[in-house]
Structures are given as C-alpha cells and as structure tokens.
Amino acid sequence: MLAAASLSTGLREYAQARVSFGGSQQLALSVEEGADVDVIVTADQRTMDGLAAHGRVERPAVVASNTLAIAVAPGNPKGVRGLADLARPDVVVVLAHPSVPAGKYAADVLGRAGVQVHPKSLELDVESAVQKVVLGEADAAIVYATDARARAVGDVAIPSAQNIVTRYVAAVVKTSSHRAAARRYVARLPARLRAAGFSAPDASSDTG
Amino acid sequence: MALTRLLDVDVEVQAGSLDLRASLQADAGDVVALVGPNGSGKSTLLRAVAAQRPGEVGLVFQDRLLFPHLNALDNVAFGLRRAGLGKSEARGQAQGWLDDVGVGHVAGLRPHALSGGQAQRVALARALARRPAVLLLDEPFAGVDVSAVADVRHAVRTVAAAPNRVCVLVTHQPVDVLALATKVVVLEAGRVVQAGSVADVRNRPRSAWSARMAGVNLLAGQAESGGLRVGAVVVAAVAAAATAGLDGRAAFAVFHPRAVTLSAERPLTSARNAWPGQVADVDMEGDRARVRWVGPVELVAEVTPGAVAEMGLRPGLPVWASVKATEIDLYPA
Amino acid sequence: MREGRVSATTAGAGVWVLAAGALVLIGLPLAGLLMRAPWSTLLHDVTAPSALQALRLSLACSLGALALCLVLGVPLAWVLARSSVPGLGLVRAVVLVPMVLPPVVGGAALLFAFGRRGVLPLRLPFTTAGAVVAEAFVALPFLVLATEAGLLGLDRRYEEAARVLGAGPWSRFVHVTLPQVAPAVAAGAALSWARALGEFGATITFAGNLPGRTQTLPLAVYVALQTDRDAALALSVLLLAVSVAVIAGLRGRWTWR
C-alpha cells in the first residue's frame, strides 16, 4: 500500500498492511510505473483523478479529511499567532513544494489570506516540512492539522474562514493480486483514520 | 699547501639490522672511495651525511631519483630555485651544468625518456648545481649501459677532483677506486674498518673484504718471532723489521696470489711455507687462472691456464701450496 | 601496462561475460532513460530558465564542494598516509562514513552539527553555502581515499632528494609530492565532483529546496518528476550529459608519463 506522507500519523500502527509513505505525486508515479501495490491513498483528488483517467485504479473513495495548521517550533519562540506573522522577515518559514498537495493547499490558504511569504525552502513532502520545524531549523510551516497536533511541536490554528478542507482519496490498484482484500481494507479506512484524529470524509472546514 | 678540512662528520644510524656508527673526514681536493660489502651501510652513510647538511651537500642517489614530473633542465634548476634564484636565472645556470657534463641536448626531456647514462649525468648536474663543497656519489655507474659507462666516468672524473671540493664515491669496482680515488674508506657491518690512501689499502688491507678488492691474500693471526700464527700453523715471513716488536700482538700477513706456487708433490724449494691441501675452485680470467685452495689456511693462487691443464687442477684435487717467506708482508692489526 | 592488456585479452570467456554483465547493469538503465527522453521537446525543456538556473546552481555548488574537498581533503589524505599519530585507523574509518551513511541521515547529521541548534551554528541551512557543504560532506571520502592511495604509492625518496637539494617541508609538498600525486588527486577529484553533482539526499535535508538558492539539478529533477515528467527526463539527460562530458574530458589528462 502507498499512502500520502501526511497519513503516517494515522496509519503507522496498522500492521496488517505494509505501507509506504511519500509525496502523493511520487506515489502516483510509482503506480504509473507498475509498482506492485494493492492500495494507494493520495492527499488530493486531482492526483487520484489522473490515475483513474489512465485506468490504473478502481473507483476512488474519499476516506478522510483534514485541515491545515501552522506548525511552530516548540514554545513558539517567534510568537507566531496567525498567517500574517509568516510574512515577518525574522520568521523562517518552510512550505511543502506546490507540486505536492500540502504545498498547493498552503499556497491556496496564503493566497486566500492575502499573505506574501518568502519560504526558505519548498520541501519535497509535507513530512519534511514538519521535520524542519521539529529540528528547529524553521520557525514555522504550514502543514496538516493532524501532523501539527501529533508531533511534538506547537500548533497554531488557522481560522476556518482562511482554511481549507483537504480530502484523502483511496483506491484499489487494478494490477493488485489481492483486490478483494484491498477493497475491504479501503472500506475500513475511514473509521481507522477517524480514530487517529483525522476528520470524517464529509467534514466541512468548521469541524477542522 | 694547507689542507682545508671540508668534511668531518660522525654518523649514528640504527635502521633495521644495520647499526651504523662511522665518521668520515676529508680535505679539499680529496676523492674518497667508500667501499665495503653489500649491506655494510655505505648508502645509509651518504644519506645521513646529506641529511645533516641539507642544501650544502650534493648527493647523487644510487637510482638517481630524478623528479619524474620535471624535465632534465628543471631537475637541475630545482636546487637553484630553492636557493632563491629566479626561474630564468636558475634555468640558465642549469643549462650550463648540463652542458658541462655533456648532456645539454637532453634538457627538455623527462627522466623516463633518458638513457641510464644520460640520467646519471643529469643527476650529477643536479647535485653540482648548488656548488656543494661536498659531493656524494652513490654507485654512479650502476644501472648505466656498458657502452655509456665511459662517458659517465669521464663526467665524474671531470667534476670529482676539484680543488675546493670533497667527493665521496660509493663503488664496488676496484677500477673506480684506482682511476678516481685518492683515499679509500672501507666500511663493514656499519663500522669503518680501514681508512687511508689508495696505496695503503691496496698494500696493507685490514679486512677480508678489502683484501679481496685489492686482489691479495690476507691472513689474520698473532705475530710470533719470524712469522704469524694462524690456527695450527705458523706462516713464516722474512720481513723481520716488520715483525720486530710485534710478538704476541694481533697482526696481518698479506701476499699476492702470484706468490703462491701449486705443486703435486711436496716442493723441494727453499720455501718455508708449504702446506698440503686441495683445490676448492678454479676461476679462469683471460690469460690467468685464479685457484681457490684450502689447507691449514685458505688462499688464492694465480697460475697460468697452461698450468691448470698440465696439473689437471679441478675442485677436490689434492695439491701442495707454497709461499716464499720473502713474499709475505707482516703488519700489526 | 602492455603485459596487463595482453593478459586481459587472453583471459577466459567468463571474465568477458561478467564484464558484459557489469556493462548491462550500468548501461541498460541509462539506455532506458535515453529511450524515454522526450527528444522533440528536449532542447526546449533544458533551456527553460528554471532548468538553466538549476544547472548553473548545480555547477557552482559541485565545483564549490570540489574546491572544499581539495583544500581540506588533500591535507587530510597526507596526514593519513604519512603521520603515525595513534588512532589514525579510527580517523580513516570515520572519513569513510559519509560513503555508507544514507545521504538523508548525513543531511540530518549536518543539521545537528551546523544547524540553528547545532554544535557549531553556522546558519548554513537553506543557503547555497549549505548546499555546498552538504555536497562536500558526501564527496570528501572519494577524494581522500584516492589521494591517500596515491600518496602511499609514491616513492618517498624523491622527497628525500628534494630535502638534500635544500627544499623545506612546504616546498617539498608543493613541488615534489603534489605534482607526483596529481594523477591520483585528479582521479579522486573527478569522482568526488561527480558525487557532488548528483547529490540529493543530504542537500534536501540540510539545505532545503529553493529555486536559485538550494535547488540543484537533482532536486529540480525530483520536483519536475511530480509535475512534468518529460521535463524531469530532459533534466536527467542534461545532468547525464554534463557529467559524462566532464569525466570523459578529464580522463587521460594529468599524467606525466
């Protein structure tokens, strides 16, 4: 199984499946190239649509939703209170690269808030962006709310008016040799992710 | 003429099995042949002398050690550059030195393109370039093609004997000693066993090795009236003047192989030194034959090839050897 | 040399088969890359401003890393080859660590050393200098290994000859040791430069990924792979062409024999 990096907090413990985490685009590429995979879970609809259009996967289903938050260094030394603070020159900000869903969402959120940020780095997946904050190299990063909460970093909520609801989409890969089992696995994913702190598939930004 | 002592060094080196403790002295104009068996420490001694006075001593290594990344000219200019000369000045002088030793035409060649003889002379020029008061040559004719030895020997002869310089020459060839040297130092097992003029060492060698190089028989023993006790026999020597006052002291007896007579029967001559023994080895050298003989003493006899044929000399043949007492020189050890 | 060639051509068929296997292992993926490369749009893709920017940055960073490797690595190799300080075996093992360490771990280690909260906070992360350091970190062992081997193969009596001719320690190193070990240094430099040029993991972890500052060609390839696969393949071909051209150009030079 391949899963978006941001799902690692929710799926790590499920030993029944061997899970590889990565940037959604990277996962999609693996499936395109015929990697031996049963299930793929992407962090956005668009990537999955691409796979579906190429006939690589069965019908996709939304399995969970998430929102964005600002992960800040432990103790929030730079006093980040909201998106506007990310434009301050003394705050080192990293984002995920716009080519991965988290980066695209972050850009959307910043655009909607009208905040101009000069990130120091565009990390290749959202996990790396969180890592930079955990290690103290960055003061803040816009990441999934589940990541910001789960890791030992501070998290600053983004008001729902500026926030965005992201949806995780799962699908069974057509080349899978265990498609029945894979389908059952996908069917159980919403409850599991819910238990791990993700929002329900149909949640609006208010519940985030 | 007052002599200027240009070389006066004491060297102590422990290197592997070699325990070298030697001193070297030489005056301006001296050409010292440093001789001795393999492994006696000759090269080590030269290198130690050079190491004591970097930049002031010229050393030609046994395998020359021309810098492979520099051409002949820059090899020679190397020391001059280190002495602070500018590049063009150093190269100009270097060319002069190459010309002096007859290899000016190979200035632009890298060492790998030089013949042994050319490389040897380039190395010589390199050692000479800083005008050292002491020039050390480690087997300058080793690795040189037979046809080129004459050229190299000529070059060495040209530079070796200079009035304001000392040259020390390591060699295995008696001919080099005779042709080039004014003094000889014999090194054995890390110790100087003899130092003196060429005539001294030739006529009165003080070690088996020097005797072999001088081509003479040397017996070591204890002086008694009228001779030298060597093991069970007394070798009679007439040089009475020499024996006077030597009684009981360690001494050497030396005689030329030509002074040895071999005969099938006990000789009837007046020779007082006549011993039975046998031929150990026969070595033909042109118009002469050298016969190694073992009896109460060991010696070499020089006979004609005719005599070898006539007597049927071959290893194991029992023969008598006799030496006239008048042919034996006796001197204190 | 010639004897070596002769024995190689007369070696058993097994050797040829295995050699061909090695060539397939390296050559087939390369051929695959070239076959999939979008040749019609290649020129357009590799001359795009973002591609040229990444190429320029890659060249600058890899050459910077190489310079750093030479300045620090040659003296280190000299110490390893020539000194008899106790614990040198451990030092030699430590020098090799970047070769076996996963580059991402190397990048994290660099953060612990030179990051904001590092032992020696140099403010290198997210800077071009940081990318240079990350590349030098992974490239250094290649230079040190090759140079040390070269130094060990030298006849030290040449240095003695230089000393007799009045050359001091520095002069001996510069005028005798270095020119003679130059072929080994050049070989090591080519290896470490190539390693630096292709560096990905340590760079992304330590220096991040920002176009024009830390996004070197391998990072640009990775990013492009997520959005525009043809562009990614084009950039890969560019990276390949540059490295092959330089390494092929270096071969055979720097020898005095």
Contact C227 A29 (CB under 8 A): no
Query: Closest partner residue to A99 among C205, C208, C226, by Cβ?
Result: C226
Between residues B187 and A44, the one the model is more confident about: B187
- The chains in contact with chain C, meaning 3 or more Cβ pairs closer than 8 Å, are A, B
How confident is the model over A26-39, as pLDDT tens digits?
A: 888 888 888 888 89
The encoded tokens of residue B282 equal: 């026969």
Which residues face B224 on adjacent strands? B227
**Domain extent listing, chain C:** 41-250
**Radius of gyration over alpha carbons of chain B, in Å?**
24
Pairing relation of β-strands B233-236 and B57-60? Answer: unpaired
Structural domains of chain A, with CATH: 2-64+167-207 (3.40.190.10), 67-157 (3.40.190.10)
pLDDT of res. B22: 93
Mean pLDDT is highest, among A174-188, B143-157, B239-253, C128-142, for C128-142
Which pLDDT band holds residue B183 (cuts at 50, 70, 90)? very high
Which residue is closest to C123 within chain A, CA to CA?
Answer: A137
Between residues B235 and B45, the one the model is more confident about: B45
C253 in contact with chain B, both atoms CB, cutoff 8 A: no
CA A4 from chain centre, in angstroms, equals 6
The Cα B123–Cα B62 span in angstroms is: 10
Q: What are phi and psi of A43, to 5 degrees?
A: -90, 5
Query: Closest partner residue to B61 among C161, C171, C176, by Cβ?
Result: C161
CA atoms within 13 A on the CB side of B30: 27
Per-chain mean pLDDT for chain A: 86
Distances (CA, A) of B214 to B26, B182, B203, B250, B322: 22, 15, 8, 21, 21
The encoded tokens of residue C26 equal: 């390296």
Residue B172 clears pLDDT 90, i.e. is over it = no
- pLDDT tens for chain C, residues 1 to 257: 444 455 555 668 889 999 999 999 999 999 998 998 889 888 888 898 989 999 999 999 999 999 999 999 999 999 999 998 898 989 999 999 999 999 999 999 999 999 888 888 888 999 999 999 999 999 999 999 999 999 999 999 999 999 999 999 999 999 999 999 999 999 899 999 999 999 999 999 999 999 999 999 999 999 888 788 888 999 999 998 888 888 787 765 554 44
- Smallest CA–CA distance, residue B184 to chain C, in Å, is 24
A199 Cβ contact list (under 8 Å, min separation 6): A64, A65, A66, A67, A165, A207, A208
Query: Closest partner residue to B55 among C157, C158, C166, by Cβ?
Result: C166
Query: Closest partner residue to C225 among A29, A94, A135, by Cβ?
Result: A29
Within this chain, domains B5-209 and B216-326 share the same CATH topology: no
Which residues face B228 on adjacent strands? B223, B235
Mean pLDDT is highest, among A44-53, B33-42, C130-139, for C130-139
Residue corresponding to tokens 């894979």:
A182
Contact C165 B69 (CB under 8 A): no
pLDDT of res. C10: 65
Q: What is the CATH code for B216-326?
A: 2.40.50.100
**Domain extent listing, chain B:** 5-209, 216-326
**Radius of gyration over alpha carbons of chain C, in Å?**
21
Please check whether residue B183 is in contact with residue B26, taking contact to mean a CB–CB distance below 8 angstroms: yes
Which residues face A41 on adjacent strands? A3, A170
How confident is the model over B284-302, as pLDDT tens digits?
A: 888 899 999 999 999 999 9
CA atoms within 13 A on the CB side of C226: 23
Q: Which of C163, C164, C256 to mutate to test the interface with B (most CBs of B within 10 A)?
A: C164
CB < 8 Å to B59, chain C: 161, 164
pLDDT of res. C227: 80
pLDDT of res. B132: 93
C180 in contact with chain B, both atoms CB, cutoff 8 A: yes
pLDDT of res. B303: 92
Contact C126 A26 (CB under 8 A): no
Long-range contacts of C151-157 (CB under 8 A, 24+ apart): C151/C77, C151/C78, C151/C81, C151/C82, C151/C177, C151/C181, C151/C184, C152/C81, C153/C184, C154/C180, C154/C181, C155/B65, C157/B61, C157/B65
Structural element, H or E, at residue B307: helix B305-311
Q: What CATH fold (topology level) applies to the domain C41-250?
A: MetI-like fold (1.10.3720)
Pairing relation of β-strands A39-42 and A121-123? Answer: unpaired
Please check whether residue C134 is in contact with residue C107, taking contact to mean a CB–CB distance below 8 angstroms: yes
Which residues between 92 and 111 in chain A have a beta carbon less than 8 angstroms from any beta carbon of chain C?
92, 94, 97, 99-100
Q: Which CATH class is domain B5-209?
A: alpha beta
Q: Which of C226, C229, C233, C236 to mutate to test the interface with A (most CBs of A within 10 A)?
A: C226
Query: Closest partner residue to A124 among C108, C111, C204, by Cβ?
Result: C204
Which pLDDT band holds residue B243 (cuts at 50, 70, 90)? low
Please check whether residue C193 is in contact with residue C66, taking contact to mean a CB–CB distance below 8 angstroms: yes
Residue corresponding to tokens 């071909």:
C237
Please check whether residue B256 is in contact with residue B217, taking contact to mean a CB–CB distance below 8 angstroms: yes
Between residues B214 and B110, the one the model is more confident about: B110
Which amino acid, A26?
A: Q
Residues C11, C13, C18, CA angle at the centre, nearest 5°?
A: 100
Which residues in B have their CB inside 8 Å of a CB on C? 47, 50-51, 54-59, 61, 65, 67-70, 78-79, 82-83, 110, 112, 126, 130
Query: Closest partner residue to C165 among B69, B79, B110, by Cβ?
Result: B79
The Cα B186–Cα B184 span in angstroms is: 6
Which pLDDT band holds residue A17 (cuts at 50, 70, 90)? low
Which pLDDT band holds residue B249 (cuts at 50, 70, 90)? confident
